Structure 1
Amino acid sequence: MLTAGVDLAAERAGTAVAVVRWSAASARVEDVILPAGDDAVLAAVRAAGKTGVDCPLGWPDAFVRYVTAHQDGAAETASGDKAWRRGLAWRHTDEIVRATVPPIVPLSVAADKIGHAALRCAHLQSRLAAEGRPVDRSGAGPVVEVYPAASLRIWGLPWNGYKGTAQLAARIELVDQLRAAAPWLDLGAFADRCVRSDHVLDAVVAALTARAAACGLTAGPAPDQLGAARREGWIALPTVALDGLMPSPG
């Protein structure tokens, strides 16, 4: 089984792809691409059984409705206060993450710079759809939305403070702890790249989360949440420890 992880940025320079091959007793990082253009991302999705994408797959329903009404000159605002803005800025899945994995708060795809990456993600989704591979944004398909910080937090690993060129020591510690928690994971020749680039490291974590999703080991939307998840996207949160990604011996 192959899983892929994509740390998707607005531009190829900040986008990394990691491919992990799974066997009965081990997992091996088979390839890493940084920088990764659109064709490299799409090739990984085509090759993998499941791809975890670290980027919102859609926008909040309430935001879309309000902007559409505003464009038509028919938007009404009850108060315009912080609570009202929050209701437009975050998706249902973002609020689930906020409540489930504190103190993590996902970036708002409607009101933050991550919206630029989401526009690129929307373009990639349209290309996949044109190939006959439409993306189910709820995660019930070959692509699933992931959030590496949340996965790391759930797995008891350092989840913040490792981003950026100045945080080399923090990434060394995180990679060491990841290897200790998952001795079956072979980073191989790409261990140093995980240390040198938080984009590569996040792509590897995204590929691990994709494995959890592929095995039915993530929290999916409830029936009454499914419609919104298919429009807005749904962040897959692992429901097992890192060791749970490998089959039990015997």
Structure 2
Amino acid sequence: MLTLGVDLAAADTRTAMATVEWLPGRAVVRDLVLDVSDARIVGASEHVDKVGLDCPLGWPEPFVALVQAHRLGQIAVADGDGAQWRRGLAYRLTDEVVRQETGIIPLSVSADRIAHAAFRCAGLLAMLAAAGHDVDRTGGGRVVEVYPAAALYRWGLAHRGYKGRGQQVQHAQLVTALGEAAPWLDLGAFEGLCRRSHDAFDSVIAAVNARAAAIGMAAQPSDEQRPTACVEGWIALPTGPLRELIDGANE
């Protein structure tokens, strides 16, 4: 099995992509690149079993309805808690599930700067669909939405404090901790890049999370949640420990 992890930024710069091959008893990072274009992501997707995309795949349905109503001058604000009303505009169903399950609050795709990456992601999903890939925003097709911070939390690893300027020590410690928690994951010649770039590191985590989704070890929406998830997207939270991603593998 091959999985692809993409840490998607608003532009090619700061976008990282990792390819991981899953073999009996081990997994090997076969490729890890920075400054990746949409065309390169689509091309790489042709050769893998699952793509873990670190970016929201959609917007909250109430937010989309608000924009449409605002355009027509037909907004009706419900009486009561205005903050709660605004929260429903800012966060998707899957974001609320992640918050409930992990205590981590994802960035709002309608109210935070991650929306710039989501604009790009919308075009990327259209390109993947045009290339013949099954783009199911719940993760049932080639692409699955992942959230490295939540995955790291689920795997018992540090999920905060390793990004940004001045965080090299924490970042390096996290790469070391990953190696201790998953000794079967071979970063090979790309270990140095993982230690230097948190974008590169997140793309590897995205590829590992894609493996969890591919083998049924990531949360899926319930029947009740699925209609909303089909539109808004669904974050595939890992449901088991790292070691179970490799144990019993038959590939």
TM-score class, shorter-chain normalisation, is over 0.9
Distance (Å, rounded) in 1 between the aligned partners of 2:249 and 2:166:
40
CA RMSD after TM alignment:
1.3
Please state if 1:172 is matched with 2:172.
yes
Equivalence for 1:22: 22
Equivalent position SS for 1:219: coil
Equivalent position SS for 1:192: helix
- Alpha carbons 1:17, 1:44 under 8 Å: kept: no
Distance (Å, rounded) in 2 between the aligned partners of 1:236 and 1:65:
25
Deviation at residue 249 of structure 1 after TM alignment: 8.2
Q: Give the alignment of 1:24-63 within 5 angstroms.
A: 24-63=24-63
Deviation at residue 233 of structure 1 after TM alignment: 0.2
Equivalence for 2:127: 127
Equivalent position SS for 2:17: strand
- What do residues 167-202 of structure 1 show as CA deviations (whole Å, max 9, x unaligned)? 111111101110011010000000010110000000
Distance (Å, rounded) in 2 between the aligned partners of 1:82 and 1:134:
37
Equivalent position SS for 1:51: strand
Equivalent position SS for 1:20: strand
Distance (Å, rounded) in 1 between the aligned partners of 2:176 and 2:35:
24
Distance (Å, rounded) in 1 between the aligned partners of 2:123 and 2:202:
22
- What do residues 226-245 of structure 1 show as CA deviations (whole Å, max 9, x unaligned)? 11111000000000100010
- Alpha carbons 2:94, 2:235 under 8 Å: kept: yes
Equivalence for 2:155: 155
Equivalent position SS for 1:13: coil
Deviation at residue 66 of structure 1 after TM alignment: 1.2
Please state if 1:87 is matched with 2:121.
no
Amino acid at match of 1:66: L
Deviates more, 1:212-221 or 1:159-168: 159-168
Displaced runs of 4 or more, over 4 A: none
Equivalence for 1:192: 192
Q: TM-score, normalised by structure 1?
A: 0.97
- Alpha carbons 1:125, 1:134 under 8 Å: kept: no
Equivalence for 1:220: 220
Amino acid at match of 1:144: V
Aligned length: 249
Q: Percent identity?
A: 52
- Alpha carbons 2:133, 2:141 under 8 Å: kept: no
Q: TM-score, normalised by structure 2?
A: 0.96
Equivalence for 2:10: 10
Equivalence for 1:240: 240
Equivalence for 2:65: 65
Q: Is there any run of 5+ residues in structure 2 with no aligned partner, and where?
A: none
